């Protein structure tokens, strides 16, 4: 497994998204998935306080109890856990971190991310609170999620000299959602930020398991009601074209989806969820295709 940098952290090029923990799988299944990830060379685990209604952090912490030193844990705060626990006010930043540390059963979070901008709190105030967590040894690096290029620039301007700064941004990015290329990826290059794509498989449409005209497999993420935005006629047509393109080169659509994201130098880790050890192993092995310029150009034509 190749590794790339997020600030001072060295993370596996394939990461494990933990939003299934506590939602689609229980603690025992989580442990099997986490251990399979470690055994496959994955060291980057991305969770959030809201995942699994806080159970994701708890299950991840349990699964890593004896192997914490092999893991880079990323978590997030800011989206509403409940009516009281939400936002990016400095006092809540500190509370949210302490709550996550307790659930994770660890004394530090490697990458702590603001899950979304809070329009009611100046970013300088939030950054100051996150910097205090770094200085206290509770957090190693800080990042953000769902930020625009303009918001990244604003955060960079608001960071005080010598204080912790955002080292990463996590936004949606896949072969079917290429919006970050317009401004966020150039901002990452300009500001020295790592980019972390979420929904890299378009919630399962890019795994190659979805068949047009048939319902999504009952145990798949695409069977969930909120994922219907991924299965538009246009997306399904593009996915089928990409699947055929990959097949002519003796690769799968899954390998194409991972390897294409990994071809971007700003991408530090391709984070994908899994509900079984088999899925984890398939994901870990999927960044095996070094795409040529000609292949990248053809992919552009197929997706645009």
C-alpha 68 chain-centroid distance: 19
Cα angle 257-224-88, degrees, rounded to a multiple of 5: 80
State the pairing for strand pair 9-12/3-6: antiparallel
Secondary structure class of 153 (helix, strand, coil): helix
CA 269, distance to chain mean position in Å, is 8
Q: Is 158 helix (H, G, I), strand (E, B) or coil?
A: helix
Alpha helices in 192-292 (DSSP H): 233-248, 253-262, 277-284
For 163, the 3-state DSSP assignment is coil
Determine how many CB atoms are found less than 10 A away from the CB of residue 90: 16
Residues designated catalytic: 51
Q: Could you give the CA distance from residue 58 to residue 62 in angstroms, rounded to a whole number?
A: 6
Rg over CA atoms, the chain:
19
The phi, psi pair for 267, rounded to 5°, reads -75, 120
Q: Which residues contact 5 (CB under 8 A, 6 or more apart)?
A: 11, 194, 268
Report yes or no: 22 and 59 within 8 Å, Cβ to Cβ. yes
């Amino acid at each position: 497994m190749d590794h790339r940098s997020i600030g001072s952290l060295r993370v596996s090029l394939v990461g494990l998204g933990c939003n299934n923990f506590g939602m689609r799988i229980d603690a025992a299944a989580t442990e099997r998935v986490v251990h399979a990830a470690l055994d496959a060379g994955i060291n980057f685990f991305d969770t959030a306080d809201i995942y699994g209604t806080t159970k994701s952090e708890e299950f991840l912490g349990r699964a890593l109890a004896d192997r914490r030193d092999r893991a880079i844990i990323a978590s997030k705060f800011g989206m509403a856990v409940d009516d009281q626990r939400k936002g990016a006010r400095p006092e809540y930043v500190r509370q949210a971190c302490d709550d996550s540390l307790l659930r994770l059963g660890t004394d530090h979070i490697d990458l702590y991310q603001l899950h979304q901008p809070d329009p009611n709190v100046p970013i300088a105030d939030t950054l100051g609170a996150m910097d205090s967590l770094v200085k206290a040894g509770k957090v190693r690096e800080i990042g953000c999620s769902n930020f625009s290029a303009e918001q990244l620039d604003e955060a960079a301007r608001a960071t005080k000299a010598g204080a912790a700064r955002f080292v990463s941004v996590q936004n949606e990015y896949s072969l079917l959602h290429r919006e970050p290329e317009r401004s966020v990826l150039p901002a990452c290059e300009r500001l020295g930020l790592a980019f972390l794509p979420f929904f890299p498989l378009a919630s399962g449409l890019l795994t190659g398991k979805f068949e047009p005209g048939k319902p999504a497999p009952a145990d798949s993420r695409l069977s969930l009601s909120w994922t219907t935005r991924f299965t538009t006629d246009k997306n399904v047509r593009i996915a089928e074209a990409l699947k055929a393109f990959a097949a002519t080169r003796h690769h799968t659509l899954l390998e194409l989806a991972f390897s294409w994201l990994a071809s971007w130098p700003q991408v530090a880790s391709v984070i994908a969820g899994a509900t079984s050890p088999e899925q984890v192993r398939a994901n870990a092995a999927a960044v095996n295709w070094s795409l040529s310029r000609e292949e990248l150009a053809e992919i552009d034509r197929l997706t645009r």
